[in-house]
Amino acid sequence: MAKRILVVEDNDLNRKLFCDVLRAKGHEVLPCDDGSKVIGAAQDFAPDLVIMDIQLPNISGVDLITAMKKDATLVTIPVLAVTAYAGKGDEERIRDAGAADYLSKPVSIGPFMAAVNALIGE
């Protein structure tokens, strides 16, 4: 069953990789490279999952996750957080914001798809 997945990633190569892999699995994907557009895109697209880069220009992915969890229309959407800069306490801070799961970059396709499938129920 195809799912709708919003991919929030400012790095062009990572965004393309995530989107290509998800599309190859039959999912409908909406890429987003601008943190200021995430909430509106999520409200319009109504995704089954959001893949959220944590290090975005101008706004933190953690702040976006927090904002999603405060929005009645977005609160139930699981978020898979992805970050290259995993410092001590980061995973806890990201999960406390509302992320359902967390991966460190560089991301391998196997663990990435395992995390996606666990969150979308496949």
CA angle 120, 29, 59 (to 5 degrees): 90
E-strand stretches of the chain:
4-8, 28-32, 49-53, 79-83, 101-104
User: For residue 80, what are the domain limits?
Assistant: 4-120
**pLDDT tens-digit readout, 4-47:** 999 999 999 999 999 999 999 999 999 999 999 999 999 999 99
Tally of domains in the chain: 1
Contact 79, 50 (CB under 8 A): yes
Q: What is the pTM of this model?
A: 0.95
CATH of the domain at 69: 3.40.50.2300
Mean pLDDT, the chain, integer: 95
Residue 25 CB: number of other CB atoms within 10 A? 15
Mean pLDDT across 100-106 = 93
**pLDDT tens-digit readout, 38-94:** 999 999 999 999 999 999 989 999 999 999 999 999 999 999 999 987 677 888 999
